[in-house]
Structure 1
């Protein structure tokens, strides 16, 4: 079959590989749509920490597809059924797994798309325990964004969902920040303000539920002082030390800050007195818990989670390299880039297009 293979840093491209075969407890799936993100670019460039990857590897950790075949011990799934799957593969035996933190497994790190073959291929094999059937009347493209949204959802479930009427800020206008807005709008906040850095991305905010949008780099010292302690909950999704510092400053005394970004900073970037004197509750996020997956899938099934409007570009598998180039180019205007390994859902092969920039609906999105 065809797959996009990363042999090592800077060495990647489309290749012919052996067809995967499902074991007795595994499921063979044809990926319909695969989302790519900054973590994939790190994998391609060699910037991802060594303990979280294993070359050579097929990328693809945000995806949805259709069952092709099941191992003999798999029940509840039939060929043709739309599915999504967790990407982190926990051991199920360590103390963290026993506590329900399958995303923090203490065993050897294992994740589809980084240490195990991912979905950027014509077929992929996944352990059946990680696979979730999808409702047949929902768009499968949206399901490909369940994985990044589940990371935010896991953090929200841990800190407790904010009360209706809360003042909430989201710092970061990338896909993760906009997915956070999409989820937080369901809590009926009084204010849900998106702080971003790129006008074309922050413009997506109102379309997914933001009551206001601001560009962080345009905030004056007086603006920052006015925002100090203004929000009950601040969710940071910037991958930037400055973004984390801004999030801390905007939380009210005894407020909550959820840090979903990973900045890579090697020094102290947050004043600990901000936390102590503000009596803040600060919570980090890594991966998604199983409870978060179940919650997100229930929202998706009910039609309460549909971030399809965040998709700006679509490519077929033959042009996956172009997809990565668009994602990496700050001038390309990309937000969420999708690759369709089997071609666009519902289209025959001869009607598939190399890339179809998606029209932006509503007033905007991340």
Structure 2
């Protein structure tokens, strides 16, 4: 086996470098996976822009967290997988022992173990993730589709936590990868989706991913236009905020009906503050909540959506690059110069097929 490999290493703010580093070795209960495909992600872009992530990583550190590939090494005590298995390894696993895990909130685990390093030829999977959050991929599912499991698991949990059911109306603010996934999963659940998007090229994409109606901001008052599309103009049963700005948090509260639910899904920068209309919240009996991360159960629900063929995986992947192009891809994502309708870029360390 090779002793060195190529890997993307984050050194700081907008400083991502391809480097030669040692191929990881599997310790007790661990496996090493040869990365078949890794996917770009909005969280990775935020980390790239800021140069760190308070919970997950401090530079210099291996980068990327959505991946699937083939097991090449099995450490002592790891019994669930063998060499040659096709797997998707999630980016975290809970302890299942702490206060939050004991209350069914594994996403808030006090010892949530994260793993990064997907933009590389090989990645080591810690034993806890091997045991609790690594899944075997059917031969018919491409690696890049299986790698969608992690972001989709976060979205599935967000939809479940919002109490969405067939026949509900839902407004989704934002048409980035997460917003589009929300539209699609909601549509699959029988929810009537209205999308609020920024750019003209996102209108058709939102419809492709399940929005029945689309409001483009800048062309009309977003709140008025979105509410006008809901039954009797009363607002949506559920509003999903997937942009993470104070302005869109305000919109979400204005777009929901009395007795409805707002899910602030986007993660704003630390220190962000908003002021909300207390009168509207109280007398409107509005539920405000936020959803962070995923649980082992929502990972499996998302994986089933992908492997069943119900989720539009191919449409979610709009770019395909080799590992050497990763630094340029992130630079392009900062300026949106990579093309008009980029959603997810698949990175193939073995070369683009």
Using structure 2 for the length normalisation, give the TM-score: 0.89
Q: Which residue does 1:232 correspond to in 2?
A: 237
1:182–1:307 CA contact under 8 A, matched in 2 = no
The answer for unaligned runs of 5 or more in structure 2 is none
Q: Which residue does 2:268 correspond to in 1?
A: 263
- State whether structure 2 residue 77 is matched by structure 1 residue 73: yes
Q: Which residue does 1:291 correspond to in 2?
A: 297
Q: Which residue does 1:154 correspond to in 2?
A: 157
- State whether structure 2 residue 121 is matched by structure 1 residue 122: yes
Corresponding residue SS for 1:181: helix
- State whether structure 2 residue 198 is matched by structure 1 residue 197: yes
1:197–1:215 CA contact under 8 A, matched in 2 = yes
Backbone CA RMSD of aligned residues = 2.1
2:11–2:51 CA contact under 8 A, matched in 1 = no
TM-superposed CA distance for 1:310, in Å, is: 2.1
Corresponding residue SS for 1:206: helix
CA 323–254 in structure 1, closer or farther in 2 if over 3 Å, else same: same
- The Cα offsets for residues 297-323 of structure 1, whole Å up to 9 and x where unpaired, read as 122221112332122221101111111
C-alpha distance in 1 between matches for 2:101 and 2:244: 27
Corresponding residue SS for 1:203: helix
- State whether structure 2 residue 115 is matched by structure 1 residue 112: yes
Corresponding residue SS for 1:154: helix
Aligned match of 1:273 in 269, 279, 282?
Answer: 279
Corresponding residue SS for 2:276: coil
Aligned match of 1:173 in 169, 175, 191?
Answer: 175
CA 80–274 in structure 1, closer or farther in 2 if over 3 Å, else same: farther
- After TM superposition, the runs of 4+ consecutive aligned structure 1 residues lying more than 6 A away are none
- State whether structure 2 residue 319 is matched by structure 1 residue 337: no
Q: Which residue does 1:350 correspond to in 2?
A: none
- State whether structure 2 residue 139 is matched by structure 1 residue 131: no
Q: Which residue does 2:258 correspond to in 1?
A: 253
TM-superposed CA distance for 1:222, in Å, is: 5.0
CA 209–226 in structure 1, closer or farther in 2 if over 3 Å, else same: closer
Corresponding residue SS for 1:217: coil
Q: Which residue does 1:214 correspond to in 2?
A: 215
Corresponding residue SS for 1:324: helix
1:32-111 alignment runs, 5 A limit: 32-107=36-111, 110-111=113-114
C-alpha distance in 2 between matches for 1:47 and 1:6: 8
Corresponding residue SS for 2:207: helix
The answer for unaligned runs of 5 or more in structure 1 is 348-366
2:194–2:215 CA contact under 8 A, matched in 1 = yes
C-alpha distance in 2 between matches for 1:106 and 1:79: 32
How many residue pairs match? The answer is 338
C-alpha distance in 1 between matches for 2:255 and 2:168: 14
C-alpha distance in 1 between matches for 2:137 and 2:207: 28
Q: Which residue does 2:33 correspond to in 1?
A: 29
Using structure 1 for the length normalisation, give the TM-score: 0.86
Q: Which residue does 1:182 correspond to in 2?
A: 184
C-alpha distance in 1 between matches for 2:56 and 2:211: 34
C-alpha distance in 2 between matches for 1:225 and 1:210: 15
- The Cα offsets for residues 90-147 of structure 1, whole Å up to 9 and x where unpaired, read as 333311122232221213x64222xxxx211100011312211122212322222211
CA 22–100 in structure 1, closer or farther in 2 if over 3 Å, else same: farther
